[in-house]
Amino acid sequence: MTVPTEVREHTDAGGLFHVGRRWTDMDDWHARVAEIRRDEPVLRVDAAGFSPFWVLTRHDDVFAVSRDAAHWKNTALSVLGPDIAAREMEASGFVPRSLVHLDDHEHTAHRQVTNDWFKPAVVKHRQPRIDEIADHFVERMRELGGECDFATDIAQPYTLRVIMDIYGVPESDEPLMMDLTQGVFGANDPEFLGEAADPQARVMQSVMSFIQYFNGITADRRACPADDLATVIANGEVDGCPMGDAERLWYYIIVATAGHDTTSFALAGGMEALLAHPDQLEVLRDGSRAGGSADASVVRAADEFVRWTTPVRHFMRYATAPATIRGVDIPEGGRVMLSYPSANRDEDVFADPGRFDVTRPDADKLLSFGVGTHFCLGSQFARREIRTFLAKLLPELAEIEAAGPAAWSESHFVSGVKHLPIRYRFR
Ligand code: HEM
């Protein structure tokens, strides 16, 4: 008897990595993936509509491949999609050219354009604005009167405002940016599909709207440069020449999208975990009484939020030559999936990895931001945003608890807690 694809995708091991719905029950996901990590750490997946790929589930393997950019390339297909989407992309000639799609010199040269903006000293310089924005959203929680959806009312608009502030995009355009980001990252989730016929169409619509929007921004910042990231990208040069039109547009898109949903999922998902582990909430509240966003307790807790939630679920790498990983042969051109959420629960690296622990001394071994030449450009911002919000909110709260079940978004690329009803009382 043939098992229908729909049923197989719900139960087979490979489906855990490419079927959006499998990412909506993370306890189940982690329990199953722990078995895969133990028994078949380099898992070959043959799924209908996808050419084969191998999932790397161990920390060591994700680390080693990420660090070996000479033998493992990102390519334009660095995010896993069905083969038909790759064929359509090629036929349309509309090939993505953002940092995560570039390799070798092209990648380094384009990354150089904004690199200075993301250095620790520069990011630190923006702390007063992050403080102001965090204050605003703590105040928003107060105004909401004791109940809200922490994910949609607070985490999403807070993280969006920080990134848009860096960009120099006005507050009035934030709803558009929110919609476009969800279109790019959340297209598989029916809630974010909008009026599009299918997820691929939704992604394309969002990309087109981003292009239109950022063409306007480029013209403006070339005419009137400002102290913002949009100005740096609009006027960016690569090897002494103005950046190409496609690369510039993809640059805007990657920073806008990668900078927002990721951090929002880490903050909302971390809060969900805190409420599910009240002892950890108490530990953190005790530690944060001293206050301040550089306080050791919020620094560790923010890392644990990012390890625990691991909002970027994967990137792909392509072999330039035949390779063998843990005895499994991967042919030249073969592709591996770097499973960051699995690597972050690797028993060989993290003590009792399934325990949410805001004082965890090994949390900084997290691979949530990747490692190597593509290491997340915005990790300093993301960490600061989370620490700052915790440092501001916790001393203000007398009580906080879940007011209903949380919901996780359906996506195998960037996903996490999309709804988190909470009840709370300020001091
Ligand atoms: C918790 C929040 C975040 C997570 C989990 C995250 C995760 C990641 C991961 C896994 C990568 C790929 C790393 C690799 O291939 O080795 C990446 C790349 C990137 N991230 Fe983040 N990110 C976050 C926040 C941000 C923020 C706030 C920004 C911008 C302000 C940002 C901008 C980027 C960019 C531009 C890249 C491409 C870098 C390259 O390919 O050279 N990210 N991020």
All residues at 6 or more sequence positions from 136 whose CB lies less than 8 Å from its CB, including other chains:
161
Pick the closest to residue 313 from 137, 186, 182 (CA basis): 186
Rounded-to-10 torsion of CA 272, 274, 277, 278? -120
371 lines ligand 1 (CB under 6 A): yes
Closest C-alpha residue for ligand 1 atom 1: 263
169 lines ligand 1 (CB under 6 A): no
User: Which sign, positive or negative, has the C-alpha torsion 289, 380, 252, 229?
Assistant: positive
* Position 63, amino acid: F
* Position 269, amino acid: G
The per-residue pLDDT for 343 is 98
The per-residue pLDDT for 196 is 60
Contact 9, 17 (CB under 8 A): no
381 lines ligand 1 (CB under 6 A): yes
Cα 25 → chain centroid: 18
Helices (H), 153-260: 156-167, 174-185, 199-223, 229-234, 245-258
The per-residue pLDDT for 260 is 86
Nearest atom, ligand 1, residue 118 CA = 30
Sheet hosting strand 53-56, strand order edge to edge:
42-45, 53-56, 335-338, 315-319, 72-73
The per-residue pLDDT for 194 is 65
DSSP 3-state assignment of 237?
strand
Contact 166, 229 (CB under 8 A): yes
User: Which sign, positive or negative, has the C-alpha torsion 216, 218, 223, 229?
Assistant: positive
Spatial separation of the C-alpha atoms in residues 163 and 160, rounded to whole Å:
5
pTM (2 d.p.): 0.94
Spatial separation of the C-alpha atoms in residues 292 and 300, rounded to whole Å:
13
Each residue's pLDDT, cut to its tens digit, for the chain (427 residues) gives 444 544 445 458 999 999 999 999 999 999 999 999 999 999 999 999 999 999 999 999 999 999 999 999 999 999 999 999 899 888 888 888 999 999 999 999 999 999 999 999 999 999 999 999 999 999 999 999 999 999 999 999 999 999 999 989 888 988 888 877 777 766 566 666 666 667 677 777 888 888 888 899 999 999 999 999 999 999 999 999 999 998 999 999 888 888 888 999 999 999 999 999 999 999 998 876 655 555 888 999 999 999 999 999 999 999 999 999 999 999 999 999 999 999 999 999 999 999 999 999 999 999 999 999 999 999 999 999 999 999 999 999 999 999 999 999 999 999 999 999 999 999 9
Pick the closest to residue 384 from 283, 308, 256, 293 (CA basis): 293
255 lines ligand 1 (CB under 6 A): yes
* Position 25, amino acid: D
What is the H or E stretch that residue 337 is in? Answer: strand 335-338
What is the phi/psi pair of residue 411, to 5°?
-160, 140
Nearest atom, ligand 1, residue 266 CA = 1
CA angle 292, 298, 301 (to 5 degrees): 175
377 lines ligand 1 (CB under 6 A): yes
Query: How far apart are the CA of 313 and the centre of ligand 1, in A?
Result: 12
